[in-house]
Amino acid sequence: MGFLVRVLPEYPAMVPETALAVLFGAIGVFGNSFSPAGQAIRANSLICAAAIYLLMAQSRLMPLLHSDMLSDDEMSVFTLICCGTVATCLLLSTVELQWVRRLKFSLLSIGICICALPLLGYLFNATLLFSDENFTSMAIHTAISFELLMFAHLLKFKKFGWLRILLSSENGSVMLRRILPILVIVPLVFSGAALAIGLISSISLNLKLAGLAFFMIIFTSAASIYFADRVNALENRAAAAERKVLASERKKVVTDSAVAHAQKMTALSQLVGGVAHDFNNTMTVILGNLELIETSDLDSRQRSELKQAINASNHAVHVTRQLLAYGRKSRLDAHLVEIDKLVGSFLTTLYILRVSNVILETDLESPGAHVRIDEAHFNQCFVNLFNNACDAMPQGGVVAIATHVVHLIGKEVTGFGGSETLADGNYVAVSIADDGKGMSEEVLRQATEPFFTTKPVGKGDGLGLSVASGFCRQCGGGLDLQSTVGSGTVATMLFPLIPRPKPDHA
């Protein structure tokens, strides 16, 4: 068991008083680890602190009273300081005051630094350190024991001083825990290199200084590069997290805006549909009475005024039907039609409607493709889209009309809230394209809202695209608008493809 007393023959020994002081200190710290309150724990701290104070007194007083007890192995000054620190902290554990806790934390921090000095001396085997009795009589296992004892006691103060900073979960503390080993290892390695170079007598002083400078440059450069890498990594993670937060916030704002817009447009559709329906019924009654009056005997002036009233009533009915189509509440007389034949039969009318400087091109690629639609409503929407294309080219241009069958997956079309997603499947696309001035993104977003128009007053009522959108949606499809400023607009009506009807057999 001699190792427990003296590690090496030339090293100082741990005296019995020191061993007992360490034992009482461990008992006191272990007792305090359960709870900071309670009479039993306070009594334990007082007893252990008193025992350590008595051991310190005995170590100093007994050799003075009995000269025959003088020995080279005794408590050093630094050992007494460590014992006093542990005993005082145990004594202060009986007082639960904030400033007392801070005092304990400070005493333990100082004690840890005091124990670190002889440990470094033993690490480098400094003979000059052994010549100072303050250190030489403090055994290496004494220094280790008190270091561990004070660290154990210090762990109760995780929310104080440097320990709080070291154990915190914040980025600065995380970086500190990563670079702390470097801060400890680099000085030790540098000091060891300096000691090794200094002991080589065959090397000149200048070469020794050059070697020390070399090691200093290598170690400090390595440490600096490591620190920079850690800082860059933390900054990159913080920047990535910030970008994710900003993207999430932007997405939330867009989503909230889209939901609010969808709710607004849905409410508007319900309001428009309800008002238009009631207004249409009222106008039907008015128009019917006007037509009855028209059968009466009237002079020319009265008949002219009645004709104007009937025309105005018919126009009002037409507008309300458009509003009903937007709100998807109009009554459709839908039946199967072959889209190419329907569009082809309507081309003659389009040639009449177009202005002289507009060239009409067609490309019908859906022979035999059938859809279920209301022909009258389709013709009305088709004319509206064609007129919009012509109006977008006041200086003339080309309007291209095309049909084709497409298979769509997750296709978004114009809806109440900006967009709706069609069911996956096959659709017939009827497109009208122009090479006019096109629309900006802002205009394109509002293009299908009722009464929105960019045309001058009196040139449009702002219902053409909204009616086309409502009609297409009511038929199970949708209206797709693609436009670029300066490159024209493509308006495409999409209708679900109906399987080819089987021919009747006689």
Q: In this predicted structure, what is the pLDDT of residue 427?
A: 93
Q: In this predicted structure, what is the pLDDT of residue 133?
A: 56
SS3 409: coil
Q: How many CA atoms lie within 13 A of 244 on its CB side?
A: 6
Q: In this predicted structure, what is the pLDDT of residue 70?
A: 46
Partnered with residue 407 across adjacent β-strands are 426
Q: In this predicted structure, what is the pLDDT of residue 69?
A: 46
| Whether pTM exceeds 0.85 | no
Q: In this predicted structure, what is the pLDDT of residue 170?
A: 75
Q: Write out the two tokens for 259.
A: 């939901």
Distance CA 53, CA 28 (A): 13
pLDDT tens digits, one per residue of 210-250: 777 777 777 777 777 777 777 787 788 888 888 888 888 88
Q: In this predicted structure, what is the pLDDT of residue 267?
A: 61
pLDDT tens digits, one per residue of 199-210: 676 777 677 777
Distance CA 115, CA 145 (A): 9
Given a cut of 70, the residues of the chain with pLDDT beneath it are 1-13, 33-41, 62-74, 125-137, 195, 198-199, 201, 205, 255, 257-281, 315-333, 353-355, 415-418, 450-452, 454-463, 501-506
Q: In this predicted structure, what is the pLDDT of residue 268?
A: 60
Distance CA 24, CA 247 (A): 59
Q: How big is the CA angle at 465 (ends 416 and 448), to the nearest 5 degrees?
A: 30
Under DSSP, the state recorded for 11 is S
